[in-house]
Amino acid sequence: MNAQHQTSKITIPRRGFLHASSALLALPWLAPLSSTPVQAAEPASSLKGRLYKSLKIGMVNTPGPLTDKFKLLKELGFDGVEMDSPGMDVAETRKAIQESGLPVDGTVCSTHWNIRHSDKNPETRAKALADLQKALRDTHAVGGNSVLLVVGHGNDGTEREVWERSQAGIRQAIPLAAELGVYIAIENVWNQFLYEHNGPENQTANKFRDYVDELNSPWVGLQFDLGNHQKYGRPAEWIRTLGRRIVKLDVKDWGKQAGWAKIGQGDVAWPEVRKALLEIGYSGWAAAEVSGGGRDQLREVREQMDQVFALA
């Protein structure tokens, strides 16, 4: 990152977009969406038919109500959008989904940078848990299947202290995540935890793997950001290490010379990323997290995603 509980239960497999769509259609407030014809098989190097394009709602800088923003995204070729919670208006979001036909695939926990599960203050940690639970309920209420979470910050203590505090909070949220069928999707970010911030550029994903495995829940995985750790390791190698733990992707680019760059214009080796995603059998959502803007800028983001993932 750079920056109500309904009684019906939704159970969504780890990377099943089609199952996620079925769950959306099961909600009584959402009208059926038109079906898509089966497409011919794509070359082995393409993720077409396996990858679904989303983006953060904060990237959409256009006037008008939320419904208009959703309609624009659908028109531009996005398959879904990620909202923010706490802070999301559930009724307004449902209305936007209903009137546009664009689903919300998940949310970002909006308070996780400042109200952290790793904080030394137990009252702050309790608020972090409450906010995560709120995000899980809001996400379920609009048909999404994941809440992106930054688990803490390395400055909150030793690595072990941050590890144990953050896991304690997440463990308390897992029963609700399981009940609602919503993943807690941990993002790899520049938070100085589970990697060396000033370390070499050949670091591994082993600590992220072990952190998730220790939580031992099918409802906790990774929303793996392909650009965030280009500085510290090769994204394709991280994908192979993390494997089935990746429940969603975040999409950006970074380069030694370019810094944060447009998708496809940094140092991320996108052909290798595609190959690694196919090797682990990934099928699911990929959410852009870059500078947004109006219609032209958002179309450019969608085109860049099509290019780097060989979707066009």
In tens, the pLDDT along 226-244 reads 999 899 999 999 999 999 9
Q: Note the pLDDT of residue 46.
A: 78
What is the end-to-end Cα distance of the chain in Å, rounded? 27
Q: What is the pTM of this model?
A: 0.86
Collect all residues with Cβ–Cβ distance below 8 Å to 241 and sequence separation of at least 6: 204, 205, 206, 209
Q: For the chain, give every domain's residue range.
A: 46-308
Half-sphere exposure of 217 (CA within 13 A, CB side): 22
Q: Note the pLDDT of residue 182.
A: 98
pLDDT at 9 over 90: no
Half-sphere exposure of 21 (CA within 13 A, CB side): 15
pLDDT at 13 over 70: no
Q: Note the pLDDT of residue 229.
A: 85
Q: Which letter, b or e, does each residue of 6-42 get, where b requires 16 or more Cβ atoms within 10 Å of its Cβ?
A: beeebebebbebebbbebbeebeebeeeeeeeeeeee
Q: Note the pLDDT of residue 203.
A: 95
At 75, is the pLDDT very low, low, confident or very high (cuts 50, 70, 90)? Answer: very high
Write out pLDDT tens, residues 42-58.
Answer: 455 679 999 999 999 99
Q: Which letter, b or e, does each residue of 92-105 get, where b requires 16 or more Cβ atoms within 10 Å of its Cβ?
A: ebbbbbeebebbbb
* Averaged pLDDT for residues 130-158: 98
Q: How far apart are CA 148 and CA 83, in angstroms?
A: 10
Q: In CATH, what is the architecture of 46-308?
A: Alpha-Beta Barrel (3.20)
At 25, is the pLDDT very low, low, confident or very high (cuts 50, 70, 90)? Answer: very low
Do 222 and 284 touch, CB atoms closer than 8 A?
A: no
pLDDT at 23 over 70: no
Q: How far apart are CA 284 and CA 286, in angstroms?
A: 7
pLDDT at 148 over 50: yes
Write out pLDDT tens, residues 164-190.
Answer: 999 999 999 999 999 999 999 999 999
Tokens standing for residue 3:
């920056």
Average pLDDT, the chain: 89
According to the 3-state scheme, what is the secondary structure of 117-139? CCCCCHHHHHHHHHHHHHHHHHH
